[in-house]
């Protein structure tokens, strides 16, 4: 029974309820992980619509990923029992693209602008650096792109930047020139890069108040999830959108046919939109991309008379998982103490695992996943996290071999494949004839005899006549090239022009099919003798299927809509749904998500915290927050794993357990390790943790330094794959073999010819010894187990 409003808040705790029902101008909800921030936002939206306080079209909700947006839209529709059509629930980027598509003509772009992804903007920068000979001054593409991105996130443009710099410094002048050229080329190409999407929307609103007024009137309620990770440009955008509409412009709006009567207040103004933001400073993990935590800490100052609500009860995880999370994050200074609690009970202990190699670690993950699955947990409820994308290879290999269905979120994927980029470049060339980047990409795909010299000739023609590259193609006959090349070029120009003529109305799948048939791109792949090319042709077929699917879901959708969706989705997350597969992703991608079981892998120094973070101010604290984000994704089961040695870039490195592991109270973790890694020298401390507790490597472990540490952990030895790979192997056997301490053969003298004995492989003869110190490696010909390379320091070997 009860009204919808009652049902909407049923089951919520009093603070959550207040957050759903509060009706002031601005509301900040700060709370730890899993406390219902996102749920509360969703219910607020449902409540506003259902009570008639707002039409769906008056709501703008900002989420961090497209996936989160889709989930929120679905939840709202479920709650209110009707479609949420007209409501804007999207990422900052998607919302800005929608605005720019409508308004770009106001400031020298057209609505068919291209969005350059980071690969596109790097390609453009590379060309500019070369033209300016900037590498002679030490500029690299990464550096330049990082700096430009930073400036744009701070809303600096070429002009304002030129006023800040020292014109006597050749470095700064060179960078200014790079920035200027880059900006000019984007403008010429009718293109925006990712950072522009936000920054240019802010400029648009500031430079054209009558445009801003349209959106200020439209959005009456703005809600932002993950506010702790907004940067300055995003903050400025929110500020512009929540301003009251200028009274003079209210009349303009009315004259323009926009309904305003009921929105006016006593003084004839339209008051600013209400703003609700939710966030958790402990989960701020994007400082490296310009996210500014001050957006949260200064919210009350920036939006006077705002209300702040704290949520403390966690509804996601067991108490053991929360205790671990609380203990870890307590080591960060400069934070508001908060302690998450739950009423669901302590749950299982966390499982720790130390593998001899990254491969062993991956095998452990696969075995545990198989066990959980046998016990009835669905694959889609499990996730594996890692700090860097390079860690996926070992995991994928073993998952494939163990027939575990998985998918990688946000890695190299469909839209990054060369053939898909080619096909997309055809579509972009049709949509945006001014874009030379897309045109260059397809000029000789499939091969039509247009080489670099011809391309240069075309570009020269374009420069001389001050026209675009596309015009140069159209006029190729004036270039005095051979008849065959000229024919190929004008043929391409004609194909693009013909298809462009229909592109405003034709279904995207028809447009793509016309381009594929006209260009012969798939035919060429099918005719090729390279076995990979058949797979490439199939991928393009798959893209055609994607366009059909798009058309089905968006009957009115145009080519531009399709390109927008693809560019933004490909950049942030996946189109696929996750039913029936284990999800693999970086810790950054994991934000906001939750799973029954979480595997957090590579919990080692140099990976977590990442090596690069050491040189950044605040780096290690941000890495700790990343670890905290990872832990708090887990509902019931948490696995923390590491490897003692990790192969990277063809080199085997000795890894140390992450400093963050020792911050977790010992009684919360059950340690396991690769079979054969134990020695019988007693003790149960992972060596490196021990060393640190003794003061060796410590320093930032806060109040936990004196406690006893987790048992098991680091040992020496090799993982017997034949038996370990089978998930039937009893786990207790592993545990029983862990008597604990770390083997250290650091001083074992070995040379070619010596005979040794190995716990798992039996006896053998040393063939060669390479490397120095802790990286010494013995190559051993075992009598029965074949030839193997062992890291001497930790391998379970003895001389015989």
Q: Which residue ranges make up the annotated binding site?
A: 31-38
CA 375 → CA 41, 133, 378, 670, 726, distances in Å? 35, 62, 9, 20, 16
Contact between 340 and ligand ATP by CB under 6 A: the answer reads: no
Q: Are strands 307-311 and 406-408 parallel, antiparallel or unpaired?
A: unpaired
CB 731 within 8 A of CB 672: yes
Q: How far is the CB of 128 from Mg ion (least distance, A)?
A: 40
CA 437 → CA 187, 413, 460, 748, distances in Å? 12, 21, 15, 59
Q: How far apart are CA 585 and CA 792, in angstroms?
A: 33
Residue closer to ligand ATP, measured from CB, 16 or 216: 16
Residue closer to ligand ATP, measured from CB, 14 or 650: 14
Contact between 70 and ligand ATP by CB under 6 A: the answer reads: no
Contact between 760 and ligand ATP by CB under 6 A: the answer reads: no
Contact between 39 and ligand ATP by CB under 6 A: the answer reads: yes
Task: Pick the binder of Mg ion from 290, 358, 433, 592 (CB under 5 A).
Answer: 592
Task: Pick the binder of ligand ATP from 8, 15, 30, 37 (CB under 6 A).
Answer: 37
Please report where in the chains the tokens 């009970």 appear, as a residue: 345
CB 308 within 8 A of CB 301: no
Task: Pick the binder of ligand ATP from 26, 34, 59, 381 (CB under 6 A).
Answer: 34
Please report where in the chains the tokens 């200028």 appear, as a residue: 246
Contact between 13 and ligand ATP by CB under 6 A: the answer reads: yes
Q: Does the active-site annotation cover 781?
A: no
Q: Does the active-site annotation cover 226?
A: yes
Q: With contacts defined by CB under 5 A, how many residues of the chain interact with Mg ion?
A: 3
H-helix or E-strand spanning residue 174: helix 170-188
CB 33 within 8 A of CB 339: no
Task: Pick the binder of ligand ATP from 352, 355, 592, 764 (CB under 6 A).
Answer: 592
Of 103, 117, 193, 226, catalytic = 226
Site for ligand ATP in 631-660 (CB under 6 A): 632
Contact between 459 and ligand ATP by CB under 6 A: the answer reads: no
Q: Using CB under 5 A, which of the segments 417-425, 592-600, 671-679, 735-743 binds Mg ion?
A: 592-600
H-helix or E-strand spanning residue 60: strand 59-62
Task: Pick the binder of ligand ATP from 20, 28, 33, 322 (CB under 6 A).
Answer: 33
Contact between 679 and ligand ATP by CB under 6 A: the answer reads: no
CB 674 within 8 A of CB 717: yes
**Element counts in the chain: helices (H) and strands (E):** 31, 21
Non-local CB neighbours of 106 within 8 Å, separated by 6+ positions: 204, 208, 211
Residue closer to ligand ATP, measured from CB, 226 or 368: 226
Task: Pick the binder of ligand ATP from 22, 208, 288, 315 (CB under 6 A).
Answer: 315
Task: Pick the binder of Mg ion from 15, 26, 38, 84 (CB under 5 A).
Answer: 38
Q: How far is the CB of 631 from Mg ion (least distance, A)?
A: 15
Q: Which residues pair with 463 in a beta bridge?
A: none
Contact between 758 and ligand ATP by CB under 6 A: the answer reads: no
Q: With contacts defined by CB under 6 A, how many residues of the chain interact with ligand ATP?
A: 19
Torsion sign (Cα): 231, 237, 240, 241 = negative
| Nearest alpha-carbon partner for 635 in 350, 415, 316, 340 | 316
Q: Using CB under 6 A, which of the segments 10-18, 114-122, 231-239, 429-437 binds ligand ATP?
A: 10-18
- Strands of 777-782's sheet in order across: 786-791, 777-782, 762-770, 755-758, 797-799
CA 290 → CA 55, 130, 577, distances in Å? 34, 28, 30
Residue closer to Mg ion, measured from CB, 117 or 282: 282
Neighbours of 599 (CB within 10 A): 29
Neighbours of 552 (CB within 10 A): 10
Site for ligand ATP in 249-288 (CB under 6 A): 280, 283
Contact between 368 and ligand ATP by CB under 6 A: the answer reads: no
Torsion sign (Cα): 509, 514, 519, 522 = positive
Q: Using CB under 6 A, which of the segments 28-36, 51-59, 290-298, 359-367 binds ligand ATP?
A: 28-36
Tokens matching residue 103: 């308004």
Q: How far is the CB of 639 from ligand ATP (least distance, A)?
A: 19
CA end-to-end span of the chain: 80
Residue closer to ligand ATP, measured from CB, 599 or 704: 599
Q: Does the active-site annotation cover 225?
A: yes
Residue closer to ligand ATP, measured from CB, 13 or 528: 13
Q: Which does 782 bind (CB under 5 to 8 A by kind): ligand ATP, Mg ion, none?
A: none
Contact between 43 and ligand ATP by CB under 6 A: the answer reads: no
Residue closer to ligand ATP, measured from CB, 97 or 328: 328
Contact between 682 and ligand ATP by CB under 6 A: the answer reads: no
Of 16, 114, 216, 283, catalytic = 283
Please report where in the chains the tokens 């002031």 appear, as a residue: 24
Q: How far is the CB of 27 from ligand ATP (least distance, A)?
A: 15
CA 693 → CA 603, 610, 688, distances in Å? 18, 21, 9
Q: How far apart are CA 331 and CA 344, in angstroms?
A: 25
Task: Pick the binder of ligand ATP from 15, 26, 38, 94 (CB under 6 A).
Answer: 38
Residue closer to Mg ion, measured from CB, 89 or 250: 89
Q: How far is the CB of 42 from ligand ATP (least distance, A)?
A: 8
Q: Cite the DSSP H helix spans in 136-169.
A: 141-153, 158-164
Contact between 44 and ligand ATP by CB under 6 A: the answer reads: no
CB 85 within 8 A of CB 77: no
Residue numbers belonging to the annotated binding site for ATP:
31-38
Of 633, 646, 659, 692, catalytic = 633
Q: How far is the CB of 770 from Mg ion (least distance, A)?
A: 50
Residue closer to ligand ATP, measured from CB, 37 or 448: 37
Q: Does the active-site annotation cover 38?
A: yes
Of 16, 38, 58, 632, catalytic = 38
Residue closer to ligand ATP, measured from CB, 63 or 641: 63
Contact between 12 and ligand ATP by CB under 6 A: the answer reads: yes
Q: How far apart are CA 184 and CA 180, in angstroms?
A: 6
CB 508 within 8 A of CB 562: yes
**What residues act catalytically?**
37-38, 225-226, 283, 633
Residues lying near ligand ATP in the complex (CB under 6 A) are found at: 11-13, 16, 31, 33-39, 280, 283, 315-316, 592, 594, 632
């Amino acid at each position: 029974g009860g009204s919808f409003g009652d049902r909407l808040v049923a089951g919520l705790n009093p603070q959550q309820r207040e957050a759903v029902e509060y009706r002031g101008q601005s509301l900040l909800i700060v709370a730890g992980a899993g406390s219902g921030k996102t749920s509360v936002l969703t219910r607020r939206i449902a409540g506003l619509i259902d009570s008639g306080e707002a039409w769906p079209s008056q709501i703008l909700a900002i989420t961090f990923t497209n996936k989160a947006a889709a989930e929120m839209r679905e939840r709202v529709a479920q709650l209110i029992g009707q479609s949420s059509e007209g409501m804007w629930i999207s990422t900052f980027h998607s919302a800005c693209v929608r605005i720019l598509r409508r308004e770009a003509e106001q400031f020298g772009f057209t609505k068919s602008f291209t969005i350059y992804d980071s690969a596109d903007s790097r390609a453009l920068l590379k060309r500019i650096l070369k033209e300016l000979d900037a590498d002679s001054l030490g500029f690299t593409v990464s550096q330049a792109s990082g700096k430009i991105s930073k400036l744009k996130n701070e809303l600096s443009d070429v002009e304002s930047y030129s006023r800040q710099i020292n014109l006597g410094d050749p470095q700064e002048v060179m960078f200014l020139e790079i920035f200027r050229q880059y900006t000019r080329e984007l403008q010429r190409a009718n293109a925006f890069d990712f950072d522009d999407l936000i920054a240019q929307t802010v400029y648009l609103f500031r430079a054209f108040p009558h445009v801003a007024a349209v959106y200020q009137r439209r959005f009456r309620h703005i809600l932002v999830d993950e506010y702790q990770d907004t940067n300055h440009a995003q903050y400025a955008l929110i500020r512009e959108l929540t301003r009251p509409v200028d009274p003079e412009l209210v009349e303009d709006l009315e004259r323009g046919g926009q309904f305003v009567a009921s929105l006016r207040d006593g003084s004839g103004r339209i008051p600013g939109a209400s703003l609700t933001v939710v966030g958790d400073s402990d989960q701020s993990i994007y400082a490296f991309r310009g996210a500014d935590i001050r957006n949260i800490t200064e919210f009350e100052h920036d939006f006077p008379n705002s209300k702040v609500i704290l949520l403390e009860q966690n509804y996601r995880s067991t108490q053991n998982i929360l205790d671990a999370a609380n203990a870890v994050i307590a080591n960060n200074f400069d934070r508001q103490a908060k302690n998450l609690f739950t009423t669901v009970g302590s749950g299982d202990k966390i499982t720790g695992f130390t593998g001899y190699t990254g491969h062993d670690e991956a095998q452990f993950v696969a075995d545990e996943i198989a066990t959980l699955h046998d016990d009835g947990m669905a694959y889609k409820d499990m996730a594996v996290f890692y700090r860097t994308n390079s860690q996926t290879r070992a995991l994928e290999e073993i998952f494939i071999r163990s027939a575990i269905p998985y998918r990688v979120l946000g890695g190299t994927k469909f839209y990054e494949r060369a053939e898909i980029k080619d096909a997309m470049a055809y579509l972009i060339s049709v949509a945006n004839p001014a874009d030379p980047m897309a045109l260059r990409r397809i000029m000789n795909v499939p091969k039509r005899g247009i080489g670099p010299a011809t391309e240069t000739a075309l570009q020269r023609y374009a420069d001389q006549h001050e026209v675009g590259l596309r015009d140069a193609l159209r006029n190729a006959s004036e270039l005095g090239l051979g008849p065959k090349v000229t024919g190929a070029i004008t043929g391409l120009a004609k194909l693009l022009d013909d298809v462009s003529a229909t592109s405003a109305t034709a279904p995207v799948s028809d447009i793509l099919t016309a381009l594929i048939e006209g260009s012969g791109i798939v035919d060429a792949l099918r005719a090729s003798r390279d076995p990979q090319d058949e797979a490439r042709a199939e991928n393009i077929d798959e893209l055609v299927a994607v366009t059909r699917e798009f058309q089905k879901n968006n009957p009115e959708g145009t080519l531009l809509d399709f390109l927008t969706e693809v560019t933004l989705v490909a950049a942030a997350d996946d189109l696929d749904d996750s039913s029936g597969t284990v999800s693999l992703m970086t810790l950054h991608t994991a934000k906001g998500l939750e799973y029954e079981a979480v595997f957090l892998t590579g919990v080692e120094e140099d990976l977590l915290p990442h090596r690069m973070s050491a040189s950044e101010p605040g780096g290690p604290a941000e890495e700790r927050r990343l670890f905290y984000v990872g832990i708090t994704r887990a509902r019931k089961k948490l696995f923390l794993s590491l490897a003692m040695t990790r192969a990277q870039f063809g080199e085997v490195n000795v890894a140390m357990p992450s400093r963050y592991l020792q911050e977790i109270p010992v009684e919360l973790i059950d340690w396991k390790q690769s079979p054969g890694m134990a020695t019988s020298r007693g003790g149960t401390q992972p060596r490196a943790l021990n060393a640190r507790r003794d003061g060796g490597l410590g320093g930032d472990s806060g109040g936990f330094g004196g406690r006893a540490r987790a048992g098991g952990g680091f040992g020496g030895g090799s993982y017997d794959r034949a038996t370990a790979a089978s998930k039937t192997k009893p786990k207790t056997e592993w545990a029983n073999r862990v008597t604990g301490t770390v083997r250290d053969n650091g001083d074992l003298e070995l040379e070619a010819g010596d005979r040794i004995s190995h716990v798992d492989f039996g006896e053998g003869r040393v063939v060669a010894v390479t490397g120095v110190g802790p990286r010494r490696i013995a190559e051993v010909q075992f009598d029965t187990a074949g030839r193997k390379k062992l890291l001497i320091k930790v391998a379970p070997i003895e001389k015989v």
